[in-house]
Chain A
Amino acid sequence: MSNVTPEAFVLGLSAIASAIVMFVGFGVGLGQGLATGKAVESIARQPEAKGDIMSTMFAGLAMTETSVIFALIVALVLLFANPLVGKL
């Protein structure tokens, strides 16, 4: 352990953290799957309302996606523009 520099330690932990952050994708994938399933059900029940359902679904999916996009931004910052290394 003595030959690990502080920078390498911080960078390694940041890589692990960015991997953990992307676990948000689990919940978002679940939610988006549920939403799309419901949309398919309602299209099957009312095929004439397909356009409205599709556009509402896409807007809703985009709102749901926000959290995973924020997680992606955090992961990218940790990987490519790490602010923690400069604090050593």
Chain B
Amino acid sequence: MHDVNNIGPRVILWFDEGPLKGLYITETVFWTLIVAAGVIVFALISARRLTRDPHGLQGVAELIVEFTYNMVTNTMGKRCIGFAPFIGALFLFLLFGNALGLLGFRPITADMNTTFALAALVFFLIQYNSIKSRGIKGYLRHFCEPYPLMLPIKVIEEFTFPISLSFRLFGNILAGVIIMALVFSGLGYLSETVLRLPIPLLEAGFPLPLNVFFDIFEPILQAFVFSMLTMSFIAKAIASHEEH
């Protein structure tokens, strides 16, 4: 499965000469594009012929959309319903990106670049919405509330949120990848050296409970947590202004 000694993402394509010299593409980039394209293609196919009584793929898509809108309404309130498409896209992308381990590939969120890019996106979204709802003056003033002495703490608080958000996702998924790799190499060693089987037979079946936990349960939970925290922080950036 994964190599225990080299836990970083593999480089699958690189350029030695020409104008693109020094550029390389890791499997993370490759699978990110595939997951994004898969989600887009699913959306296009399921919304191709919309009917009054949904059946087939349209039913699945309506289920997802309804779930997302319910989640956003419950967490952020009715007036932030415009964020639902963004949150839904984030949730689906994270869900399928985390669950790539189910197919035996490296989850794209086990790469710090992916999680930091997503956290930076969320960070700028929060700052933009904060400025938009407070105005530049109010935005600068809210760092000095309730006391101007709080300024450094408030600034640090703004910056620790994306860092902890990205590290949380990365750490959880990478821990799953490492544990799966250790289990697979251990089972392979057992079946080859101790039981002297010609093929690593123990690797079939035994890791199934771990697969269920790390490749089905954990992806859903982490995608949910990431979108949940994103929602609550955007809502906080908008709402704390309108209360007073």
Contact = CB atoms under 8 A, between A and B. Distances in A.
B181 interface: no
A69 B7 contact: no
A76 B225 contact: no
For chain B, the bracket of interface size reads 10 to 19
B228 A58 contact: yes
Interface in B166-210: 167-168, 170-172, 174-175, 178
Interface extent on A, as a size class?
10 to 19
A70 interface: yes
A58 B221 contact: yes
Contacts, number: 40
Contacts of A69: 164, 167-168, 171-172
B225 A70 contact: no
Contacts of A76: 7, 174, 178
B203 to A, nearest CB: 24
Nearest to B172: A69
- Closest 6 pairs (CB-CB, A-B): A69-B171, A62-B225, A66-B164, A72-B171, A69-B168, A59-B228
Interface of A: 51-52, 55, 58-59, 62-63, 65-66, 69-70, 72-73, 76, 80
